[in-house]
A and B are shown apart, each in its own frame.
Chain A
Amino acid sequence: MAGLAKSFGSGAMTNSIDEIEGADAIFVTGSNTTEAHPVIAYRVKKAKQNGSKLIVADPRKIDLVKYADLWLQQKPGTDIALLNGLMHVIIRDDLLDKKYIQKRTENFEAVEDIMEKYDPEHVAEITGVPAEDIVKAAHMYGEAERASILYAMGITQHTSGTDNVLSIACLAMLTGNVGKENAGVNPLRGQNNVQGACDLGALPNVYPGYQAVDDEEVNKKFSEAWGVELSDEVGLTVTEIFDGIEEDEVKALYVMGENPVLSDPDSNHIREALEQVEFLVVQDIFMSDTAEYADVVLPAASFAEKDGTFTNSERKVQKLDQVIEPIGESKSDWEILMELANRLGHDWDYSSASEIMDEIARVSPIYGGISYERIEEEGLQWPCPDYDHPGTKYLHKGEFSRGLGQFNPAEYIPPAEKPDEDYPYVLTTGRRLFHFHTRTMSGNSPGLEEQYSEELMEISLADAQRMEIEDGDRVLVSSRRGEVESKVTVTDRVPEGLVFMSFHFAESAANVLTNPALDPVAKIPEYKVCAVNIEKS
């Protein structure tokens, strides 16, 4: 996200979900769309029926491969090389949108310099993708009138995550595919309100509406609006918070609706931190692995039990209505927060979620035109600066949010951890159709549980045969950080040398194994590549 913001001036999906259907070419990379975003996958399939070309780049033979015109099976962590290879061919074969580059972007020279050496043969060596497929893909993408890129955590969850995104932005700008209907660069949001949480400033460096905390003007504006002095120092990110606890700098932690024990890398490290922290409050709808460590657990109301808004992946602010009364004594999170603030000497008196939105509209320009009345029937897509604005279907029309689009090409750097003698396999992680995140919700849905009740690690036939492992056997998977047990499924979805696990199950918690090495800019851990060993248990 940081990557897109740097290149375009905004980190959100540039286009709307509906627009996917109108693309002439779709490039899906680092997104197992059919399982993680099934409804978006419907649009991709529809686009295919409408005659669009589909390129899928993924180390695994994900379901979407079945629909693809071209499947690029890159080695995990070699995305930049692959993207650079595509750009090399686009430049070489003159598939550039020169007018666009000249008029709307800057720093194109850097691209030319870096791409020079990424010829298809060289890239084929790094990525394992045949050179001719790289050329084919470049042409498919480059020749399309409207080309859309869809990506998700398969791109960002690497030490080079930001560079991956910057490279994607380069590719789209080279061909003039940003600021255009049915085209664009579209990061698919994993959780239902990730977009909203970011928009509303649940980030250590920005206030609501991506206004920097270290910007003097901004600081002044919020101080005045809230009537308090505010810190202008950037705060800690999730991983830094846990490091901070270890170093005894952070002493009290408030966790609202999250389960870092399962969702964060190197779980053992997280567990240690949670043991250590002086005071922990967890607010959730279910008892979670994280809540077990809490000093106080507060019961929250679920989505069905409160009013509010969510902002979906396409920046649409949607109205959420209370349908049932809160279960038991549970309360909505905003009411709990208000009560706490007031106990700590403040005087918040929001009588409804709607009033909070009115305050948001006042302080956050991109939400400036959002009100409950306006979104009662249908949501509005930000930027929506005032109450007359119809919302924005796609971004960067005519001009980028930051003015000119900026090329920030990157060099390929191998993943932080490589397989070796002790840990000869690469583990990559992701999601399953029937579950979500740490299963707080899906694990409490009897049907979903019945359908998929335990992790089945994917392993190739070749590896399985060598280790004499069969479908349903249990294995011990270990990394430098820990070990877990899992059942396996022998499948052609993964190539030899690669294994795949989801992080849904506490019993087979993939994140005990994963590498907490961070992307230096976005601070995203490298979930997608770590070295593991596998033994039959």
Chain B
Amino acid sequence: MRSVAELDNLQKEVQSKLEKQAEQAQLIIGMGTCGISAGAKDILTALETELEERELEVIVKKTGCIGLCEKEPLVDVKLPGETRVTYGNLSVEDARRLISEHLENGNIVRDLVVAKMEE
């Protein structure tokens, strides 16, 4: 970075990229130590295999701990134009359900949900 303008341009660039991404379905998985200890890695692998098998183009994002350690592992599902929904205490099996039920069919998996995130 040699100037402020350079940073501002980069910021704009990135922001528009993120906006574009928002037009796609996203899975956001908590990958802090608490999440990983609770099995987030297995969930991530399961999600990725599942997405591949179903040939779904979904952005999988990793993020840090949101604070709800008790409910880890946490996965959020965000469909374009819709509210981001957090699921918690997931097993690998649960994670697959998120894909089949919420991602593909738009049905919130009520027994796993923690909360929705209103922007």
Question: Do A and B come into direct contact in the complex, CB within 8 Å?
Answer: no
Tell me the A residues contacting B by CB distance below 8 Å: none
